[in-house]
Amino acid sequence: MGEKFDLQEYLIEGVEGIVSEAIKATLKNPKESAFMLKFAAASRTASKKRRKAEAKGDHIPPFLIASITSKCNLHCAGCYSRCNHATTDSEPVRQLTDEEWQNVFDEAEELGISFILLAGGEPMLRRGVIEGAGKKQNILFPIFTNGTYLDERYLELFDKCRNLIPVMSIEGSRELTDERRGAGIYDRLIANMDEIHKRGLIFGASVTVTTRNCKEVTSQAFLDSLSEKGCKVVIFVEYVPVTDESRELAPTDIEREYLQNKIRQLRETHPEMVYILFPGDEKSSGGCVAAGRGFFHINSHGGAEPCPFSPYSDINVRDSSLKKAMDSPLFRKLRDEGYLLEDHEGGCVLYEKRELVQQIINE
Set out the domains of the chain in order of their start, with CATH numbers: 7-362 (3.20.20.70)
Average pLDDT of the residues in 156-185:
96
Position 1 pLDDT exceeds 50 = no
The pLDDT tens digits for 107-164 are: 999 999 999 999 999 999 999 999 999 999 999 999 999 999 999 999 999 999 999 9
Q: Is the peptide bond before 62 cis (omega within 30 degrees of 0)?
A: no
Q: What's the pLDDT score for residue 17?
A: 87
Q: What is the pTM for the complete model shown?
A: 0.92
The pLDDT tens digits for 223-268 are: 999 999 999 999 998 888 766 667 788 888 888 889 989 988 998 8
Position 345 pLDDT exceeds 60 = no
Which comes out higher in pLDDT, residue 104 or 82? 104
Mean pLDDT of the chain: 89
Separation of alpha carbons 74 and 265, rounded Å: 34
Q: What's the pLDDT score for residue 285?
A: 60
Average pLDDT of the residues in 313-329:
95
Which is nearest to 148 in space by CA: 169, 177, 127?
A: 169
> Residue 2: which pLDDT band, with cuts at 50, 70 and 90?
very low
Q: What's the pLDDT score for residue 358?
A: 80
Strand arrangement, sheet containing 231-238: 274-278, 231-238, 203-209, 164-169, 141-145, 115-119, 63-67, 297-298, 304-305
Q: Note the helical H segments in 118-170.
A: 127-134, 152-160
Q: What's the pLDDT score for residue 14?
A: 84
Which comes out higher in pLDDT, residue 361 or 266? 266
